[in-house]
């Protein structure tokens, strides 16, 4: 069997057909994507993992309000916690392929309007009960309920029917979507007993580690799941996750040997840290981006000219140079860059133009009162400094931009998606549809700019169902142009994910999907 799989991968790699294309096409023609994790993940570990020990992680971006409920995970620590104890039915690998997880295979009909996922048998939840097809169905229904506050609500809206059929979960869509498996990899869609309806914060899943204790904003402790269905992961006896929001303190904890790995290394100190004894700084570019977001349904941001004034007043190259120190590239007020399939490279880059900024500000008729931007260190590394640079250039154009620095604690619950103007970040998503559906269609709970445009929504739905790549690219170009011109998001830069770990850690492999190896660092590394 292994020889046959190896031959298949060799064929895919040498034929000019990407593994993603192979998977998508096979699914589109009703073929089963029964390629297991060992196939789609690519090559096995170069080293044999060592078992045992306690991994200590120092993480920034934690709050006392962080939930265990994966549907409400809205910050880096809440995301990381979910990665420890939970699994989705599929995962996106570092090279952009779909990896079956709690689903062992999947297939679609010819037009992508019906998808069938065969659910893995013999998997147990942490409480000892069997994970069943019904649990998967209940999970999907919870996150798609009209009263749901789940971060996955937007991407679930195209699904019209969710049913169990023997060992299969069958999803029927209002229109075709060749990217549906990518959407279902969303980190909010952790399968829970009975879908998590009874107690979404119980933290009972099928993941590599079980929750022992949780002190949001302070510390989390996990122990190895002895009955893990996936024996290739979770090499530590346990994981201790310590919340260290201060960047300097987090760096010092790593250098002092108090933790083994940290997230969110500030780009300004990354090169210097990489020279410290016993420390390895890891960076990977991808789809992550830093943003300033305006609620387009609230004054003064409901004025298009004012939004354009702000967009023209930000010096993107200056921010890349001074904030990212080269660890990233400029953005163009859309959440999509060349790392995405079907990216439209013809969209003109918005320039830094103070004259145009002043022109649009005058046209807005704004009364000259302060335009307050809320910002905190936790928004993204260097957020306060970035906002300060922007304030200077905006003021030069006559725009009364002011800053209000707020506490890190409570930022993701009380400021982001609540206040009308603030700094934030996105880790990006594997495909364009998932990014737009999560954060920009009118019905998305995580529509953090409150952007509602019927033409935009219609084009997103149309693009999902378009099987011709050239035509789909055209549609994504139209989608990008609407958001670029009308939207409330300012995307000055796409960031590298920069993490660091001690020399005691082995098995690290960069993953462009999210920070900390796509969130899997605790599962895929080991103590050397």
- In this prediction, residue 504 carries a pLDDT of 97
- In this prediction, residue 6 carries a pLDDT of 38
Q: Are residues 262 and 384 in the same domain?
A: no
Q: Are residues 360 and 413 in the same domain?
A: yes
- In this prediction, residue 283 carries a pLDDT of 96
- DSSP secondary structure, 8-47, as one string: HHHHHHHTT--HHHHHHHHHHTT------HHHHT-SPPSS
- In this prediction, residue 524 carries a pLDDT of 98
Find where tokens 């921010």 sit.
Answer: 319
pLDDT digits (tens, 9 = 90+) for 330-341: 999 999 999 999
- In this prediction, residue 342 carries a pLDDT of 95
- Provide the 8-state DSSP code for 484: H
Find where tokens 């996106």 sit.
Answer: 92
Q: Are residues 278 and 324 in the same domain?
A: no
> Residues, the chain, total?
528
Instruction: Give a three-class secondary structure readout of 193-256.
Output: HHHHCCCCCCCCCCCCEEEEEEECCCEEEEEECCCCCCCCCCCCCEEEEEECCCHHHHHHHHHC
Q: Are residues 165 and 232 in the same domain?
A: no
Q: Are residues 115 and 162 in the same domain?
A: yes
pLDDT digits (tens, 9 = 90+) for 268-317: 999 999 999 999 999 999 899 999 999 999 999 999 999 999 999 999 99
Is residue 172 within 8 Å of 159, Cβ to Cβ? yes
Find where tokens 């998967």 sit.
Answer: 136
Q: Are residues 476 and 513 in the same domain?
A: no
- Measured in whole angstroms, the distance separating CA 212 from the mean position of its chain's CA atoms is 26
d(CA 16, CA 105): 24
pLDDT digits (tens, 9 = 90+) for 436-484: 999 999 999 999 999 999 999 999 999 998 989 999 999 999 999 999 9
- In this prediction, residue 46 carries a pLDDT of 55
In the predicted structure, residue 165 carries a pLDDT above the cut 90:
yes
Number of domains in the chain: 3
164 preceded by cis ω (within 30°)? no
Could you tell me the pLDDT band of residue 253, with boundaries at 50, 70 and 90? very high
Work out whether the CA dihedral 351, 357, 363, 369 comes out positive or negative: positive
Q: Are residues 369 and 418 in the same domain?
A: yes
Q: Are residues 257 and 391 in the same domain?
A: no
Q: Are residues 334 and 237 in the same domain?
A: no
In the predicted structure, residue 132 carries a pLDDT above the cut 50:
yes
Report the share of the chain in percent with pLDDT over 90.
87
d(CA 508, CA 505): 7
How confident is the prediction for the chain on average, in pLDDT? 91
d(CA 279, CA 282): 10
pLDDT digits (tens, 9 = 90+) for 340-356: 999 999 999 999 999 99
Q: What is the CATH number of the domain that holds 176?
A: 3.90.76.10
User: Taking Cα atoms as reference points, which of 58, 35, 37 lies closest to residue 521?
Assistant: 58
pLDDT digits (tens, 9 = 90+) for 394-437: 999 999 999 999 999 999 999 999 999 999 999 999 999 999 99
In the predicted structure, residue 8 carries a pLDDT above the cut 90:
no
Q: Are residues 150 and 109 in the same domain?
A: yes
Q: Quote the pTM value.
A: 0.83
């Amino acid at each position: 069997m292994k020889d046959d799989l190896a031959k298949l991968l060799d064929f895919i790699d040498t034929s000019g057909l990407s593994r993603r294309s192979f998977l998508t096409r096979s699914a589109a023609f009703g073929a089963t994507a029964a390629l297991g994790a060992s196939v789609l993940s690519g090559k096995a570990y170069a080293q044999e993992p060592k078992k045992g020990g306690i991994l200590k992680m120092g993480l920034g971006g934690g709050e006392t309000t962080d939930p265990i409920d994966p549907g409400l995970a809205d910050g880096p620590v809440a995301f990381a916690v979910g990665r420890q104890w939970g699994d989705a039915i599929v995962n996106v690998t570092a090279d952009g392929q779909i990896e079956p997880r709690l689903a062992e295979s999947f297939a679609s009909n010819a037009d992508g309007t019906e998808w069938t996922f065969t659910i893995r048998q013999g998997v147990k939840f942490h409480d000892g009960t069997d994970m069943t097809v019904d649990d998967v169905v209940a999970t999907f229904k919870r996150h798609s309920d009209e009263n749901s506050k789940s971060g996955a609500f937007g991407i679930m809206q195209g699904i019209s029917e969710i049913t169990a059929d023997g060992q299969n979960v069958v999803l029927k869509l209002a229109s075709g979507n060749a990217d549906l498996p990518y959407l279902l990899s969303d980190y909010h869609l952790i399968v829970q007993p009975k879908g998590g309806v009874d107690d979404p914060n119980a933290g009972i899943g099928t993941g590599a580690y079980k929750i022992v204790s949780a002190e949001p904003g302070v510390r989390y402790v996990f122990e190895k799941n002895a009955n893990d269905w996936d024996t290739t992961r979770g090499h530590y006896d346990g994981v201790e996750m310590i919340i260290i929001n201060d960047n300097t303190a987090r760096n010092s904890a790593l250098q002092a040997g108090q933790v083994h790995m940290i997230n969110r290394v500030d780009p300004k100190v990354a090169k210097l840290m990489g020279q410290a004894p016993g420390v390895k700084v890891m960076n990977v570019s991808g789809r992550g981006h830093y943003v300033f977001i305006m609620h387009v349904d609230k004054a003064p941001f409901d004025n298009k000219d004012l939004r354009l004034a702000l967009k023209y007043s930000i010096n993107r190259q200056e921010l890349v140079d001074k904030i990212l120190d080269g660890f990233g590239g400029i953005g163009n007020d859309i959440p999509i860059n060349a790392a995405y399939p079907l990216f439209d490279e013809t969209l003109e880059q918005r320039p830094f133009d103070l004259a145009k900024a002043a022109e649009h500000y005058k046209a807005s008729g704004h009364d000259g009162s302060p335009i307050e931007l809320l910002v905190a260190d936790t928004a993204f590394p260097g957020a306060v400094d970035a906002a300060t640079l922007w304030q200077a250039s905006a003021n030069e154009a006559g725009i009364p931009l002011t800053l209000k620095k707020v506490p890190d604690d409570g930022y993701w619950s009380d400021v982001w998606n609540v206040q009308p103007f603030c700094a934030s970040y996105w880790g990006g998503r594997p495909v364009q549809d998932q990014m737009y559906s999560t954060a920009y269609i009118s019905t998305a709970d995580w529509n953090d700019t409150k952007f509602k445009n019927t033409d935009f929504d219609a084009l997103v739905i149309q693009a999902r169902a378009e099987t011709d790549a050239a035509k789909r690219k055209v549609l994504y170009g139209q989608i990008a142009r609407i958001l670029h011109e009308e939207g409330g998001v300012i995307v000055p830069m796409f960031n590298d994910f920069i993490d660091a770990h001690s020399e005691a850690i082995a098995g690290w492999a960069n993953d462009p999907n999210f920070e900390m190896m796509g969130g899997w660092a605790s599962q895929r590394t080991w103590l050397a």
